Amino acid sequence: MISRRELLAYGGAAAGAHFIGGAAGAQDAWPSQDMKTICGFPAGSGADIVTRFYAKALADRIGRNVSVENRPGAFGNIAVEAIARAKDGHTIGILPSSAVAAAPALYKTVPFDPVADFDQVTTLIKVPWVLLVAASSPFKTVADLTDHLRKQGDKASYGSVANSGLISSELYKLAFDLKTVEVKYKDPFGMLNDLDGGHIAFAHLDASTTLATIKQGKIRLLATSMQTRASAFPDVPSAAESGIKNSNLFGYWSIAMPKGTAPQIIARLEKIYNEIVATDENKKFVANIGCELFAGTTASAREALVKEVETWREYVRIAKIEKI
């Protein structure tokens, strides 16, 4: 069980009244100024790459700059709260589901409500998570790694840097009754360096963050966290094939706005982003970062989020993670 101490260690026309539920005439001028989004992870991370791609894609279509501000920390809570509170009509949420939906399950007090504080626009891509070991390690399969971890007991450790990796790793431990100890990292790069250096035995990360390290030949993929193989990694066994039958985890990225945003803005953004998702440029980008297309609508995005909140709650319960 993860202790509270361990988890804590980880550490004019633009006026809101016009854009948040304002008059129809004001919506026609939107956007009347440059826009921004806030990324909850460091510059250069997989999350940052995704955020910047979809920010630029929007900027190209509305004729306004869409800047990205990085505010890493607290498993993404800092950035998600900032977006929820930004009722200026010009701050857009380009959000990973793991940073939004998992919060109520992990924290006793959450600074935002993942459902009530946002107006969903649409979904973009589906993100598989992968179980990683150092390429220099002797582990070629999950069975190899598991045998080693059983012998090591609590002398072995794994790395975590976000909600998704934490839950995926704890479910893996639970599936084989492993005693491996968690080590928290502030960013994925330090964790990958330690993995490559043999300081931790394994880690779970999103595919988009790991691709560069995979191409450098520093890490090896043993399994995904899903019950079926990911199309981006057809040669990598699924969690089910690897004996991790309690895991069917994947994330997705969506577009959202602070609650109360004018319906006209939501509708316009839904149209723009559905056009973006259908482009060849987007399809190439998604394939290059090891993800899958996940097109949607305002209605399906809200339905997916409500379901995701409950999914995370159940996984946290199964993994016996204490709320902090």
Residue pLDDT, tens place only, 236-281: 999 999 999 999 888 899 999 999 999 999 999 999 999 999 999 9
Place of tokens 């560069």: 212
Tell me what the pLDDT averaged over the chain comes to. 89
All CATH 3.40.190.150 domain ranges in the chain, comma separated: 4-125+253-318
Calculate the CA 78 to chain-centre distance.
Answer: 14
All CATH 3.40.190.10 domain ranges in the chain, comma separated: 128-224
Interval 18-28: pLDDT, tens: 344 444 444 56
Interval 212-229: pLDDT, tens: 788 888 999 999 999 999
Amino acid type, 37: T
**pTM (predicted TM-score):** 0.79
> Does residue 17 register a pLDDT over 50?
no
Q: Which residue has the higher pLDDT, 162 or 188?
A: 188
Among 32-36, 73-77, 106-110, 310-314, name the one with the lowest average pLDDT: 73-77
Mean pLDDT of the region 76-80? 93
> Does residue 65 register a pLDDT over 70?
yes
Residue 6 is predicted with a pLDDT of 38
Question: What's the CA gap between 170 and 147, in Å, rounded?
Answer: 16
Residue 46 is predicted with a pLDDT of 85
Helix (H, G, I), strand (E, B) or coil at 322: coil
Q: What is the DSSP letter of 321?
A: B
Place of tokens 């520093």: 218
Residue 32 is predicted with a pLDDT of 93
Residue 304 is predicted with a pLDDT of 96
Interval 111-159: pLDDT, tens: 999 999 999 999 999 988 899 999 999 999 999 999 999 999 999 999 9
Query: What size, in residues, is the chain?
Result: 324
Amino acid type, 289: I
Calculate the CA 23 to chain-centre distance.
Answer: 35
Q: Cα dihedral angle (151, 154, 156, 158), rounded to 10 degrees?
A: 130
With b for 16 or more beta-carbon neighbours within 10 A and e for fewer, the 53-63 pattern comes to bbbebbbeeee
> Does residue 12 register a pLDDT over 60?
no
Question: Which class in CATH covers the domain with range 4-125+253-318?
Answer: alpha beta
The percent helix, strand, coil of the chain (3-state, each to 5) is: 45, 20, 35
Distances (CA, A) of 228 to 79, 112, 124, 249, 276: 31, 33, 20, 10, 27
Quick count: other Cβ atoms within 10 Å of Cβ 324?
15
Residue 7 is predicted with a pLDDT of 36
Question: What's the CA gap between 25 and 224, in Å, rounded?
Answer: 49
What CATH fold (topology level) applies to the domain 128-224? D-Maltodextrin-Binding Protein; domain 2 (3.40.190)
Residue 154 is predicted with a pLDDT of 97
Mean pLDDT of the region 59-83? 94
Calculate the CA 44 to chain-centre distance.
Answer: 14
